Amino acid sequence: MMLPGRLLLAGLLRSASTASSAPRMPTNMGCWDRFTWSSCYFHSTIDNTSSKAGLTAKKQLDPLALIKDEVSEVTDRLRSMVVAEVPELTSAAGYFFRAGAEGKRTCPTVLLLMASAISMEMTDGLENRPRARHRRVAEITEMIHIASLIHDDVLDDADTRRGMDSLNFTVGKKLAVLAGDFLLFRAFSAAVSLDNTEVLSLLATAVNNLVTGELMQMSITPAQRCSMDYYLQKTYYKTAALISNSCKAIAVLAGQTTEVQALAYQYGRHLGIAYQLIDDILDFTGTSASLGKASLSDIHQGIVTAPILFAIEEFPELHEIVEKGFDDPSNVEMVRIALKYLSKSQGIERTRLLAAEHAKLAADAIDGLPESEDQVILDSRQALKDLTQKFMRRTK
């Protein structure tokens, strides 16, 4: 049923370029998981910007390498944090923390880099209490992230996640829901131990935003489906709110000024939105093989994203079709028509431009941080800025 649309689009839209030398990506990785997996390549990317002598090439920073060992520590701690009273619950809650199942841990990576980027003291000895508390935020955020994916798979009735059976597929919906609940409990127990009500409130807000975003998508009205404002708000809640609030929590725990807290928050917000906009483009331009999941899956699930919303601005006749929605199986013809309008429009290009604006705003937030001459701080800031560009370049 999805074939006609995909064939049509393959012929009409510019296809995404794929790195032929890239190893195969596991199938069905979640959005943030897919990013960090692909970012593993970038450490070897050479920026051929010439030096004064025109001879040396600058090797790009590998954001993962900077804090790789610390992210591993976070993963180890997570395994011990999800132990429950009942063995069944321990194994269900630990399902995505097992070796090989833990994904690439984008949230801890971003948060630990942010901690380094805004830190005043870089000595990470045993006595460095702020750093230990930052690691705790990384652990909490990862638990909330995994809980949201587990619950999302129950809601979507998904069979797979991260290229393996989903938890609901493996243990059933009931235990999966309880495992997600338990992870939230563990996350908030750890948050309480930080003894900081502002941080607790930021994390609670992030969970509220995740739930709200999911509901905004589930219970959308025809008019909301055609609204770019509604779409961007939902996107912020679902994809950017957790990382932006957690970035701010890092700044709060660092004892940073409200200005730095706001910059940390803005970085996470714009990074998350840029990420999702590129994800929306790839759903139209990528192949199933490159994406690790079915292409055109959003529109076939009735989810209208930025490229189509921009196309409506150019072709108002598309408005009526989108308002009706695409989730009814009898609407395959409507999907085909919408894709035809999209191919004639600047929808993909305009979405890319919007993503680039958000990527730039994220980088601007880092540039707005108080000056520093500490090399670790500067490298961490550069790595955070590099992430924004990697998000823009990704093809999967």
Interface ranges with Mg ion (CB under 5 A)? 152, 156
Q: What is the DSSP string of 342-374?
A: HHHSSHHHHHHHHHHHHHHHHHHHHHTSPP---
Using the contact rule CB under 6 A, the part of the chain among 142-150, 267-275, 311-319, 387-395 near ligand FPP is 142-150
What whole-number distance in Å separates Cα of residue 152 and Cα of residue 144? 12
Q: Which residue is it, tokens 């409130």?
A: 201
Is position 363 an interface residue for ligand FPP (rule: CB under 6 A)? no
Structure tokens at 225: 């489906």
279 binds ligand FPP (CB under 6 A): no
The rounded distance, in Å, linking the Cα atoms of 90 and 179 is 8
CB of 149 to Mg ion, least distance (A): 8
Smallest gap from residue 279 Cβ to Mg ion (A): 12
* From ligand FPP, Mg ion, none, interface partner of 250 (C-beta below 5 to 8 A by class): none
**∠ CA 34-343-318 to the nearest 5 degrees?**
105
- Member of 109, 116, 148, 209 binding ligand FPP (CB under 6 A): 148
**Could you say whether residue 156 binds ligand FPP (CB under 6 A)?**
yes
In the complex with ligand FPP, the residue whose CB is nearer, 130 or 163, is 163
Check binding of 269 to ligand FPP (CB under 6 A). no
Beta carbon nearer to ligand FPP, 39 or 256:
39
- Are the CB atoms for 26 and 291 separated by under 8 Å? no
Per CB under 6 A, the list member of 139, 152, 283, 386 interacting with ligand FPP is 152
By CB under 6 A, name the one of 147, 249, 253, 281 that touches ligand FPP.
147
Per CB under 6 A, contacts with ligand FPP among 181-220 are 184, 207, 210-211, 214
Could you tell me which residues are beta bridge partners of residue 164?
161
Pick from 263, 151, 12: nearest CA to 161: 151
Distance CA 173, CA 148 (A): 14
**How many residues sit close enough to ligand FPP to count as binding (CB under 6 A)?**
17
28 HSE (CA, 13 A, CB side): 12
What is the closest distance, in whole angstroms, from the C-beta atom of residue 31 to ligand FPP in the complex?
5
Pairing of strands 58-59, 46-47: antiparallel
Select from 65, 101, 155, 353 the one that contacts ligand FPP (CB under 6 A).
155
For 160, phi and psi rounded to 5 degrees?
A: -130, 155
- Least Cβ distance, residue 153 to Mg ion (angstroms): 6
* Binding residues among 292-321 for ligand FPP as defined by CB under 6 A: none
Report the alpha-carbon distance of residue 111 to residue 249 in Å, rounded.
9
Gap between the Cα atoms of 344 and 180, Å rounded: 43
Length of the chain: 396
Region of 3-11, 141-149, 192-200, 360-368 interacting with ligand FPP (CB under 6 A)? 141-149
Which of the listed partners (Mg ion, ligand FPP, none) does 147 bind, with a CB threshold of 5 to 8 Å by partner kind?
A: ligand FPP
Torsion over CA of 391, 392, 393 and 394, rounded to 10 degrees? 50
Closest separation between CB of residue 134 and ligand FPP, Å? Answer: 21
Please say which residue, 65 or 155, places its beta carbon nearer to ligand FPP: 155
Q: Segment 21-80, which members bind ligand FPP (CB under 6 A)?
A: 30-31
Least separation, in Å, of the C-beta of 152 and ligand FPP? 4
Distance in angstroms (rounded) separating the CA atoms of residues 44 and 290: 21
Q: Do the strands 160-161 and 58-59 form a parallel or antiparallel pair, or are they unpaired?
A: unpaired
Q: How far is the CB of 89 from ligand FPP (least distance, A)?
A: 15
Query: CB under 6 A: which stretch of 72-80, 151-159, 227-235, 338-346 binds ligand FPP?
Result: 151-159
Residues near ligand FPP (CB under 6 A) are: 30-31, 144, 147-148, 151-152, 155-156, 180, 184, 207, 210-211, 214, 238-239
